[in-house]
């Protein structure tokens, strides 16, 4: 004689979750990976509710929602604590479920309304020290090497000088056209996101590197291609791709003894961060840096001021005789 399966103690909860996930898949079009994550998050939530005897969403109290999400951050019953980003996703899943239940008439209130996801730690942009930037730029060889530098070496030096000298995004650098450069005036037109173009100054080192590349290297590269107006070309004469620019920078970082893999890897955005941080360190006004970076809001630029404050703290802690007491 076989034992009868125990009835599901909370069929209403499971029906609500299935309905919500179907809504996300069909009406919202969420990706399969996101749906799988939400399904896991909500399964954990239902386990919590079942463990305290809650059998339908209408019976859930705000404190129970908060207690569940708090446990996710500290871990329990063999589960590791969730990182802030994963906990934030779990909050979204639970809040979405309760909003769905309220909208569908399954409940008369939303107990998760006032629950907020944990604030993730603010990641400061990584900026290289000036000496490291110089090492990186010189890793592709001097602009005026005796006997003439290889065309791709001249291009690589010009690209890195361009990125650091203008604070350009990688898409702005590889998208720049020859007509966007005014080397005599020391300026370049950058075509930014959302059609926001800006004219930025470019320093003497970058001007020299670009001039050497445009005169001694680009014509030969362009002869192999189809006549693209882009400044930076690949070995076949076509426009240099974003991935190609990444590879150039990664190779230069490796030669300079800087990290080219992992979270500390030098990236095109590292040069943009360094550009902004070094300007602020040199006394530039944050609103001027905002314009140079093409940020729509000064609050976006102000994150770089935190970098300089962190640097001041480091200097103080290591230099002041009574900093540690």
3-state SS class at 292: helix
- Kindly report the length of the chain: 325
Whether 99 is a known active-site residue: answer: no
Whether 272 is a known active-site residue: answer: yes
Q: Which of 269, 287, 313, 320 is catalytic?
A: 269
Confirm if 218 and 228 have CB atoms less than 8 A apart: no
- Sequence-separated (6 or more) residues with CB below 8 Å from residue 88: 117, 118, 120
Whether 44 is a known active-site residue: answer: no
Q: Which of 20, 38, 275, 304 is catalytic?
A: 304
Whether 213 is a known active-site residue: answer: no
Confirm if 305 and 286 have CB atoms less than 8 A apart: yes
Q: Which of 18, 113, 193, 287 is catalytic?
A: 193
Q: Which of 89, 169, 250, 273 is catalytic?
A: 169
CA distance 308 to 37: 38
Q: Which of 272, 273, 275, 278 is catalytic?
A: 272
3-state SS class at 119: coil
Whether 304 is a known active-site residue: answer: yes
Whether 295 is a known active-site residue: answer: yes
Alpha helices by DSSP H, listed for the chain, are 11-26, 32-51, 62-74, 84-103, 130-138, 151-166, 170-175, 204-216, 218-223, 242-255, 268-281, 286-293, 298-301, 303-319
Q: Which residues are the active-site residues? A: 169, 193, 269, 272, 295, 304
């Amino acid at each position: 004689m076989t034992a009868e399966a125990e009835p599901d103690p909370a069929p209403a909860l499971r029906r609500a979750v299935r309905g919500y996930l179907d809504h996300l898949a069909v009406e919202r079009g969420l990706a399969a990976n996101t749906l799988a994550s939400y399904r896991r998050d909500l399964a954990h939530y239902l386990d919590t509710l079942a463990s305290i005897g809650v059998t339908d969403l209408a019976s859930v109290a705000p404190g129970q929602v908060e207690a569940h999400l708090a446990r996710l951050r500290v871990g329990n019953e063999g589960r590791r604590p969730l990182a802030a980003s994963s906990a934030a996703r779990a909050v979204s899943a639970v809040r979405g479920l309760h909003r769905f239940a309220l909208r569908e008439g399954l409940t008369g209130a939303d107990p998760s309304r006032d629950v907020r996801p944990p604030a993730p730690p603010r990641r400061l942009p990584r900026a290289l020290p000036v000496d490291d930037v110089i090492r990186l730029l010189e890793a592709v060889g001097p602009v005026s090497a005796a006997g003439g530098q290889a065309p791709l070496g001249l291009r690589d030096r010009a690209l890195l000088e361009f990125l650091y000298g203008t604070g350009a995004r990688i898409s702005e650098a590889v998208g720049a056209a020859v007509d966007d450069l005014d080397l005599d005036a020391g300026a370049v037109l950058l075509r930014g996101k959302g059609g926001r173009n800006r004219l930025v100054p470019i320093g003497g080192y970058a001007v020299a590197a670009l001039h050497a590349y445009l005169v001694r290297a680009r014509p030969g590269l362009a002869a192999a291609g189809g006549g693209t107006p882009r400044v930076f070309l690949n070995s076949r004469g076509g426009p240099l791709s974003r991935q190609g620019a990444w590879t150039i920078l990664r190779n230069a970082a490796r030669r300079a003894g800087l990290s080219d893999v992992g979270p500390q890897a030098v990236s095109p955005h590292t040069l943009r961060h360094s550009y902004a941080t070094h300007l602020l360190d040199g006394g530039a006004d944050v609103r001027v840096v905002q314009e140079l970076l093409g940020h729509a809001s000064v609050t976006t630029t102000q994150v770089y001021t935190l970098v300089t404050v962190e640097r001041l703290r480091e200097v103080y802690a290591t230099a002041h005789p009574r900093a540690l007491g």
